[in-house]
Chains A and B, each alone.
Chain A
């Protein structure tokens, strides 16, 4: 992947990510998140991980975020009021974030593997759909089935918590 494209998409992704948090209009926030996901999938495509890149767009940007937008519009959410933050908690949160960033910089600086460029992959085009499928359904079958139960529990939970009148 060309470094220019990498930096371009990373910068865009971070910019849209920031705008998700900063925007007070929920529709604008959701759309920024879609844009952020698009840039992320561009990064995946740049790493030759086409399947994950496509899934990122289909599932997250396509299905999940469109559903989000539907909900926002159905509920007719208005722009949030600007909230007054407690100065102490603002300072505390900022200190944790800045501290974490410096820690990360320190760790990356002393990380020997991180200083070398990643060796190029042997095969330029992996049949990644097949690889993901084989890994998921044979090698990682047990965790995969556990996740299946998790999804069932989540969907039961959503119905229980959102149904207007329980029967």
Chain B
């Protein structure tokens, strides 16, 4: 059995080796780098099934004060690894578009780092999933965010990409400011940064409810930016639309998944403070409701599929926040909510990556990302059209898909908590979701194509897309493998705090 941190070390080593290989080799073909990275990440993913789970310790001066290798973090690490693999496959498809948007000396020049930087992002995402200390969480979060600043602005000759990069940089820095300020308040109140110790100290603080609530709100604002919760979502549509498509997929899946796990871990100490619990849950319910309404209603009139997926990403953040807001009194249900959130994010990863894989191929071939570019896709490539139908059905929540079971878990959570207002909102927004997701399906099957050239799909992309389709059905019918992986070990913080 390997220790859990071996995954991060391996990905990091892979990144260093490829970075050196890229700078010292004379080869002008950078595609090999991506192939090596995909191959090695596949092996690292396999190794993740042979890692021993090791919860964080509280020994003074130990490495493992910062790092928890519990079962939930392992699932999120697998999500990060799979996302990175898929993003690299998408990046290979996207190469022809990206090469035009770079000031390159010769063909394909400058694309090397586009395949290598995601590896460092992946390391950051995995460290974030394991962080059980505010300092560690912040360092990992910044590693992720800074590599995303570069990736979003990567297509330098595209104004949209540069604009997206600057917007993301400024708003990301603002949200970082909120998180750091929140951390200083938490540290000021408790004198600790480890989540377990923070939980202990917070539970015994008396008479400082306002200050605790303030610290919670600051962290909520900061992490709300990262997970695209309303009212901190204003950057999402522009950044998602301007960024290179593979990066958009990475942002909407990888960054969101790791941020949600971190959010759960940060939230937990605050749930132990009984005097502010009703207020915390109320704030969460309001944010969740607003996110649900805004994400789903703003997606309705969108004509660009990339923008539509951006709003849908906000909408899905809404469902996840709704599940979190229904934690119930005492916070004892966190394990249940952790499972719901983990499964939902896993399903969200499958369907969103599938949608972005098709979007990348269509946009490279049709020079556009509007829904009209999908017109008549069933005639140009029945395979891609079918893949998109599966992705859209799963995003909308059609039964037998992974997306349905994720929504089912969320609604079960809402009913358990008797949150009837959120339930009504959830039902209405799911209905809205059916409308805008199936507009894409209608365009593909019932509209005449703008152009008739068939789209050829590279073998690697074909395998990836087929695997994603198969997993959406498999985990929609049999979700148990993911659920049991999430349930095997309680988050160490929960075990220690209660």
Contact = CB atoms under 8 A, between A and B. Distances in A.
Interface string A127-167: 00000000000111111001101101110110011011111
B421 interface: no
A139 to B, nearest CB: 5
Nearest to A104: B214
Nearest to A151: B146
Contacts of A138: 61
Given A156-B19, A157-B149, A165-B104, A143 B210 contact: no
B105 A146 contact: no
A160 B104 CA distance: 11
Given A111-B211, A156-B19, A165-B104, A146 B140 contact: yes
B153 A161 contact: yes
Interface in B76-124: 102-106, 109-110, 113, 116-117, 120, 123-124
A103 B214 contact: yes
Main secondary structure of the interface of B (DSSP, over half): helix
A111 B208 contact: yes
B209 to A, nearest CB: 8
B139 A153 contact: no
A139 B61 contact: yes
B136 A149 contact: no
A166 B207 CA distance: 59
A89 to B, nearest CB: 12
Nearest to B211: A111
A82 interface: no
B146 A157 contact: yes
Contact of A156 (B104, B105, B113, B153): B113
B10 interface: no
A166 B157 CA distance: 12
Contacts of A156: 19, 113, 116-117, 150
Contact of B143 (A142, A149, A165): A149
B135 interface: yes
Contact of A143 (B113, B120, B139): B139
A149 B120 contact: yes
A110 interface: yes
A6 B229 CA distance: 40
Interface in B49-68: 60-61, 63, 66-67
A146 B120 contact: no
A164 B127 CA distance: 34
A114 B63 CA distance: 33
A84 interface: no
B35 interface: no
A113 interface: yes
A125 interface: no
B437 interface: no
A142 B67 contact: yes
B462 interface: no
B208 A150 contact: no
The interface centre, meaning the residue of B117, B150, B156 with most chain A CB atoms within 10 A of its CB, is B150
Contacts of A149: 12, 120, 123-124, 143
A153 B117 contact: yes
B154 interface: yes
B231 to A, nearest CB: 10
Nearest to A147: B139
A107 to B, nearest CB: 5
A157 B146 CA distance: 9
B142 interface: yes
A2 interface: no
A154 B208 contact: no
Nearest to A141: B63
B117 A164 contact: no
A132 to B, nearest CB: 14
A81 interface: no
A150 B210 contact: no
A103 B135 CA distance: 26
Interface in A66-117: 103-104, 106-107, 110-114
B117 A146 contact: no
18 contacts: A113-B208, A114-B211, A142-B63, A142-B67, A143-B139, A147-B139, A149-B123, A149-B143, A150-B143, A153-B147, A154-B150, A156-B116, A165-B104, A165-B105, A166-B103, A167-B106, A167-B109, A167-B110
Given A112-B208, A166-B103, 18 more contacts: A104-B214, A111-B211, A114-B211, A138-B61, A139-B61, A140-B66, A141-B63, A142-B67, A146-B124, A147-B142, A150-B142, A157-B150, A160-B110, A160-B113, A160-B150, A163-B103, A166-B102, A166-B105
Interface of B: 12, 19, 60-61, 63, 66-67, 102-106, 109-110, 113, 116-117, 120, 123-124, 127, 133, 135-136, 138-140, 142-143, 146-147, 149-150, 153-154, 156, 188-189, 207-208, 210-211, 214
The 9 A-B pairs of least Cβ separation, nearest first, read A166-B110, A157-B150, A146-B139, A143-B139, A110-B210, A150-B143, A107-B214, A111-B211, A142-B66
